[in-house]
Amino acid sequence: MNTLRVSLLGSLVAVAFSLASPVAAAADVECLPEVSDGWIRVPPAGIPVLAGFGTITNACDTAVTLVSGSSPGFEDVSIHETRFDDGMARMRAIPRLVIPAGDSVTLKPGGLHMMLMKPRATPVAGEQVRIDLQLDDGRKISGDFRIRK
């Protein structure tokens, strides 16, 4: 009788693992947003602030929130928004940028954009710079941004 119980228990455990393994494998794959079409505008000479643009696509099932940025090419990276109030363009920092599930956010001139402060080297058109964006859950996404006029 004990042998039958052990055998039956072993079979049930084997079935449980075989059913759970596809689920466990799927849970191990982390979905991350992607950065595409990244570019940085070359500023007029002597200006220590550049602007970065591109698209962040979140094909994941849950929203993600960007909370900061960094780059080996710049002392500081942050997300800003340009708004027009009474005919005047005003910029403000966006401390948290939510990208809804299955959606994208476009960073573009005159709207949401990255402020790239104090380049560590003189930006040259055609070069590429990596920018890392920190999510509120601790993960990072990276994108390559081409410098252009």
Hey, what amino acid is at 106? T
For the chain, what is the mean pLDDT? 84
**Mean pLDDT, range 18-42, rounded to an integer:** 68
Please tell me the predicted confidence (pLDDT) of residue 43. Answer: 84
Q: What is the pTM of this model?
A: 0.77
Q: Which of 24-33, 54-63, 104-113 has the lowest mean pLDDT?
A: 24-33
Taking only the tens place, the pLDDT of each residue in 52-90 is 999 999 999 999 999 999 999 999 999 999 988 888 888
Indicate left, alpha or beta for 12 from its phi (over 0: left) and psi (-120 to 50: alpha). Answer: alpha
Please tell me the predicted confidence (pLDDT) of residue 47. Answer: 86
Please tell me the predicted confidence (pLDDT) of residue 127. Answer: 95
Selected residue with higher pLDDT from 68 and 17: 68
Distance CA 149, CA 147 (A): 7
Look at residues 19, 8, 127 and name the one whose alpha carbon lies nearest to residue 72.
127
**Mean pLDDT, range 40-57, rounded to an integer:** 92
Distance CA 148, CA 127 (A): 8
Q: How many CB atoms lie within 10 A of CB 137?
A: 10
Paired sense of beta strands 103-107 and 112-119, if any? unpaired
